[in-house]
Structure 1
Amino acid sequence: MDTRPLQKIDLNLLIALEALLEERSVSRAAQRLHITQPAMSKTLSRLRSVFGDALFTRNSRGIQPTPRALELEQALPALLADISRLVSGNAFDPWATTGEVVLALSEYVGVALLPPLIRRLHEQAPRLSIRTITRVENQLEQLAGGNLDFAIHISQSHYPPEFRVYEVGSSPPAILVREDHPLTHGDITWERLATYPLIRLYISDLGQAELVRNSETFNRMRNPQQGSLETSHLMTALEVLRNTDYFLPGPAYMLQNEAAARGIVALPTPEGADHSMKYMLVMHERGANSPLHQWMWRQMVETLQSLEAPE
């Protein structure tokens, strides 16, 4: 788009032109804009220069627009209204809102959060699209860069001031196994765990979490004499648990969705694994003046508050 012709346009000139067209009088237009009549006459001179047309001719009743001015009269109200909306923003209407919101969260959080959240959004903003991503590294950088709109992840040790955070809740670590697993009988010890194969659920933000004690503890569970499975798919991990003697260390929150966790139980971890995992909802300040982002934030917070608190 060639924007060079726009360089000589002053928005105030267009506002003055609208007043002249509506008042059909230089003096009344000046009064309306709270300027002197000589100043309005000077503005009219500038308008004539910009548009290359006299725009108005004088008659006994004031000023009469030229054909060019009448053309401008048809287009000017809509143009000024568009500029006003561009500057101030439209009144936010969830029902009419379109576009896409990108949310990063682990699958086990999504299993609990997404069904009620999507139901709420479908009722209030049916045209809005939600895209979730489960494997996202460096989530704060992605939020700052605009690749993500929101993230729900395990709490990090530090958040720069440009991030808005809301503590979702916390969940203690647990040992997940099938209901009739041998580990459901007797005490859970590191020695007993070492005799069973391990599932490691990939969580993209786990490496940045405040889980030093947990990481060390869970690393002790691994035994080179036993096989293991690493996956980022929660449903796959739970199905393997239901059909094998594998165990899965992770937050008890994984069982929040009763339908998905059918046949799976959470056992206490051995001594030393009592550090709960804390979760945060995060957004970058770039969305501070976005009605959509502010509205979505409220919807997620209210949905999270409506869920049963993690055990």
Structure 2
Amino acid sequence: MDTRELAKIDLNLLISLQVLMEEKNVSRAAERLHITQPAMSKTLSRLRNLFDDPLFTRTSHGMQPTPRAIELNQGLTEVLAGISNLVSNTHFNPADCDTEVTLAVSEYIGVTLLPILAARLQAQAPLLHLRIVTRVENQLEQLALGNLDFAIHIRQSQYGSDFRLADLGGSPPVLLMRSDHPLSSGPVSTQDIQQYPTIRLYISDREQLDVAPITSSLEEARQRSRGSLEISHLMTAMEVLRNTDYLMPGPAFLLQNESVSQGIAAQPFPDAGDLSVDYVLVSHNRTANSLMHNWLWEQITCTIRDLRPTQPQKLRQRVAAGST
């Protein structure tokens, strides 16, 4: 696009041309634009110089547009309507939304959220391109840079004023294992954990999390365990659990997904008490005035709200019973 030529054009001239085409009368056009007739005549002169064409000729039936003016008018209405929509930003139709949105979400959250969210978006915004990334460090920085539109993660200890947050609820931490694991009958102590290898599921920006008591305990247990496996693929991790003596700390809400938790038992994490791991939806304030981003924000939060029929206390009871 040659912006040098565009910079020479006064967009008010195009508006004036549109009104002249509708009125075909200088006086009435001036009245609609709230200017004097001499000013409107001067504007018409500038339009003639801009397009190197008379644009209108006087006849016994009034002003008639030239072929050049008719040609310009064919695209003028669409152009001005586009500029109006761009400036006013007052309308958003999900069905017409043909753009890409990037969401950072760990697989252990996505496996529960995304099937329902994707179905919701497919029904309402079939042209939307949703890009999911599961491994992203420095997520707040990536949001600020525009590399991410949204992030769903464990609440961090600090957020700047440039970020918008929505609390998505919490889940107690549990220790996952195969259903016939020696520790599946519980209770489990930190010393018990140290007798078995552990799986460390990838969590972005781990050092920034607002769950220091759990993360430090997990790290201590991992360092003293009989081996460890670090992985970002939840389904692979669950298969490892089902076929080995590995243990894996994780959120209790995974028990709600039967396809994921089949053959898996869970025990309360040692010394966690009533501690809950809280999750948040985050975006940067740069998208605060975007109708599309605000609409999608509502779709994500509503989907998660609909996914929370099981209360934390019930989850704790299932965990204590060694749910499989």
How much does 1:149 deviate? 1.2
Range 164-173 or range 181-190, more displaced:
181-190
Q: Provide Cα deviations, 1:70-92, integer angstroms capped at 9, x if missing partner.
A: 33233322322232233234732
Partner of 2:31: 31
Which segment is superposed worse, 251-260 or 101-110? 251-260
Q: Distance in 2 between matches of 1:132 and 1:70?
A: 48
- For residues 141 and 275 of structure 1, what CA distance do their matches in structure 2 show? 28
Q: 1:187 to 1:83 in 2, by over 3 A?
A: closer
CA distance in 2, matches of 1:157, 1:86: 38
Quote the residue 1:54 is aligned against. 54
1:159 aligns with 2:159: yes
SS in 2 for 1:183: coil
Gaps of 5+ in 1: none
Distance between the aligned counterparts of 2:7 and 2:127, measured in 1? Answer: 38
- The structural deviation recorded for 1:264 is 1.0
The answer for the alignment partner of 2:322 in structure 1 is none
The 8 Å contact of residues 178 and 265 in structure 1, kept in 2 or not, is answered as: yes
User: How far apart, CA to CA, are the structure 2 residues paired with 1:129 and 1:3?
Assistant: 29
1:165–1:281 contact (8 Å) kept in structure 2: yes
> Deviation string for 1:266-303 (max 9, x for gaps)?
20122256532110001112222222211111111110
For the Cα contact (< 8 Å) 1:103–1:131, is it kept in 2?
yes
SS in 2 for 1:222: helix
Residue 254 in structure 1 maps to residue 254 in structure 2:
yes
Verify the 8 A CA contact 1:175 1:267 in the aligned structure 2.
yes
Distance (whole Å) between structure 1 residues aligned to residue 214 and residue 182 of structure 2: 24
Deviations 1:239-288 (A, max 9, x none): 11111111112222232312111111220122256532110001112222
What is the correspondence of 1:139-158 to structure 2 with a 5 Å cutoff?
Answer: 139-158=139-158
- 1:104 and 2:104 matched: yes
Q: Given the alignment of the two structures, is residue 243 of structure 1 paired with residue 221 of structure 2, yes or no?
A: no
Deviation at 1:188, TM superposition (A): 1.4
- The residue aligned with 2:7 is 7
Distance 2:59 2:23 in 1: 14
Kindly state the Cα deviation for residue 120 of structure 1 after the two structures are TM-superposed.
Answer: 1.2
Match of 2:288 in 1: 288
- Given residue 4 of structure 1, which amino acid in structure 2 is its aligned partner? R
Partner of 2:113 in structure 1? 113
8 Å Cα contact 2:187-2:267 kept in structure 1: no
Q: CA deviation at 1:60?
A: 4.1
- 1:178 counterpart = 2:196: no
- Output one character per residue of 1:43-80: Cα deviation in whole Å (capped at 9) or x when no partner: 12222222223333334444333333333233322322
- Per mean C-alpha deviation after superposition, the further-off stretch among 207-216 and 249-258 is 249-258
TM (normalized to structure 2)? 0.89
Q: CA deviation at 1:224?
A: 4.6
Q: Aligned residue pairs: how many?
A: 311
CA distance in 2 between partners of 1:75 and 1:175 (Å): 64
- 1:186–1:10 CA distance, 2 compared to 1 (3 A): closer
Shift of 1:103: 0.9
Q: Contact conserved, 2:186 with 2:267, CA < 8 A, in 1?
A: no
Compute the displacement of 1:186 (Å). Answer: 4.3
Aligned to 2:134: 134
**Residue 115 of structure 1 aligns to which amino acid in structure 2?**
P
Contact 1:26 1:62 (C-alpha < 8 Å) held by counterparts: no
Give the whole-Å Cα distance in 1 for the aligned partners of 2:279 and 2:59.
74
Structure 2: segments with no counterpart, 5+ residues = 316-324
Q: Does 1:212 align with 2:190?
A: no
Residue identity opposite 1:256 in structure 2: Q
Partner secondary structure for residue 98 of structure 1: coil
Q: Which moved further from structure 2: 164-173 or 78-87?
A: 78-87
SS in 2 for 1:259: helix
2:198–2:225 CA contact under 8 A, matched in 1: no
Which segment drifts farther, 134-143 or 301-310?
301-310
Q: After TM superposition, what 4+ stretches of structure 1 lie above 6 angstroms from structure 2?
A: none
The match for 1:22 is 22
Once the two structures are TM-superposed, the CA of residue 135 in structure 1 deviates from its matched residue by: 0.6
SS of residue matched to 1:30:
helix
Q: What secondary structure, in the 3-state scheme, does the structure 1 residue paired with 2:230 have?
A: strand
State the one-letter code of the partner of 1:268: P
Percent identity of equivalent pairs: 58
Native 8 Å contact 1:153 1:205 kept in 2: no
